[in-house]
Structure 1
Amino acid sequence: MRILVVEDEVKAADYLRKGLGESGYMVEVAHTGIDGQFLAQESDFDLIILDVMLPGIDGWQLLQIIRRKSQVPVLFLTARDAVEDRVKGLELGADDYLVKPFSYAELLARVRTLLRRGAPREVEHFKVADLQLDVLRRRVVRGAERIVLTNKEFALLQFLMERSGEALSRTQIASQVWQMNFDSDTNVVDVAIRRLRVKVDDPFSIKLIHTVRGVGYTLAVPE
């Protein structure tokens, strides 16, 4: 199982990486809130261990960002021991809250408990404006019209809708949909987006798939 540790204290992060690694987990570490956000959005983790006081964006903000897209278990590990801090963390969506200094045995027990709860059920239905995607039924509808997509077109649209409103690079899209490293000489993403637009956008007055100059693409309701 994969664990992301977001901790700005290098010694503490190394301690967690070593201990959890020896306990059989794959561990990645981020030392800033921004790096933690990037890793949390780019990779799938089974658990995130999160400090509150982080450079860039703090742990409260990062948890809110994570919860917009994911229900991955989050354990706050922080020196902030006030009752109001614990309450705030849990109300924002944390699954557990452990105060520093801590016993590694207790941390490991809490980690195992959170992981035993199992992965949360994935989102099965996405909706942006009048565009709806049903993951289980493999069905796409816009307005009252059914849209028939190939498997890759469906995967591409699902990724765009999962990250609705985000500017997604061609590298991100290629990695997620085609499991390939993006080659700047390859226009597979642009071709696929063009084909998807023909089905999802062209017959409708409101366009949802937009080009982000210098970055890639986004699916969003126009402002």
Structure 2
Amino acid sequence: MKILIVEDEVRISKLLKIYLEREHYMVDIADNGNDGLIQALNEHYDLIILDILMPGKDGFKVLEELRKEKDTPAIMLSAKAEQKDQLQSLNLGANDFIAKPFSPGAVVSKVKEILSPVQ
């Protein structure tokens, strides 16, 4: 299974990549919304992990544009754990919302939960 992480904080994306690869997922990384959207539209991913606050397009815009063409499952990440951000994420079609800071293990658990019906 292939996962795309769209996250501008290199430390976070590398840590998630390590944890996910330990579980035998193939992982690609984009460090901004513009590149992330291009990758998401041009390649097949089983799941996308998408930060909300990023340079270029923010996570909301990426998800909104992605949903016009694909229904790839998505988990939104945000340092702002405000209910309005969570609601907006879910209204745009996100499968889940995780507030920062988070445990990488918790993210892996969510990934497994979302992808388990597919596996």
The TM-score bracket by the shorter chain reads over 0.9
1:108 Cα deviation from its structure 2 partner:
1.1
The one-letter code sitting in structure 1 at the alignment partner of 2:57 is I
The one-letter code sitting in structure 1 at the alignment partner of 2:24 is G
Cross-structure match for 1:88: 88
Classify the secondary structure of the residue corresponding to 2:4: strand
1:118 Cα deviation from its structure 2 partner:
2.2
Q: Distance in 2 between matches of 1:87 and 1:24?
A: 31
Identical-pair percentage: 38
The one-letter code sitting in structure 2 at the alignment partner of 1:6 is V
* 1:163-212: CA deviation from partner (whole Å, max 9, x where unpaired): xxxxxxxxxxxxxxxxxxxxxxxxxxxxxxxxxxxxxxxxxxxxxxxxxx
Q: Distance in 1 between matches of 2:117 and 2:61?
A: 25
Alignment of 1:1-223 (within 5 A): 1-118=1-118
Q: Which has the higher helix share?
A: 2
* 1:35-73: CA deviation from partner (whole Å, max 9, x where unpaired): 101100110000000000111100000000110011110
Count of residue pairs the alignment pairs up: 119
* 1:58-115: CA deviation from partner (whole Å, max 9, x where unpaired): 0000000110011110000121200111011101110000111112221111100111
RMSD between aligned alpha carbons? Answer: 1.1
* 1:12-35: CA deviation from partner (whole Å, max 9, x where unpaired): 111111111111100000001111
The one-letter code sitting in structure 2 at the alignment partner of 1:87 is L
The one-letter code sitting in structure 2 at the alignment partner of 1:25 is Y
Unaligned stretches of 5+ residues in structure 1: 120-223
Question: Could you state the TM-score of these two structures normalised by the residue count of structure 2?
Answer: 0.96
Q: Distance in 1 between matches of 2:117 and 2:57?
A: 28
The one-letter code sitting in structure 2 at the alignment partner of 1:36 is G
Unaligned stretches of 5+ residues in structure 2: none
* 1:117-158: CA deviation from partner (whole Å, max 9, x where unpaired): 328xxxxxxxxxxxxxxxxxxxxxxxxxxxxxxxxxxxxxxx
Q: Distance in 2 between matches of 1:118 and 1:23?
A: 15
The one-letter code sitting in structure 2 at the alignment partner of 1:80 is K
Classify the secondary structure of the residue corresponding to 2:49: strand
* Runs of 4+ in structure 1 over 4 Å off: none
